[in-house]
Chains A and B, each alone.
Chain A
Amino acid sequence: MSEAVHVSELTRKFGDFVAVDRVTFDVSQGEIFGFLGPNGAGKTTTIKMLTGLLRPTSGSARVAGFDVNREIPQIKTRIGYMSQLFSLYSDLTVDENIQLFGGLYGVTGPRFVERRDWVLRMADLSNERRRLTAELSLGFKQRLALGCAVIHEPPILFLDEPTSGVDPIARRAFWDLIYDFAAAGTTVFVSTHYMEEAEYCHRLALMNRGKLIAMDRPVALKQALDEPILRLETDNTPEAVEALQKTPGVIDAAMFGRAVHITVTDESTAPDAVRATLAAAGRTCESLERITPSLEDVFVSLVRREGGAVIG
Chain B
Amino acid sequence: MQVNEYKPKIVAFCCNWCSYAGADLAGSNRLAYPAEVKVIRVPCSCRVNPMFILRAFQRGADGVILCGCHPGDCHYTSGNYYTRRRMALLFSMLDYLGIEKERTRVEWVSAAEGAKFAATMNDFVKTVTALGENKRLEDLRCKK
Partners in one complex: no
Chain B residues in the interface with A (C-beta under 8 A) = none
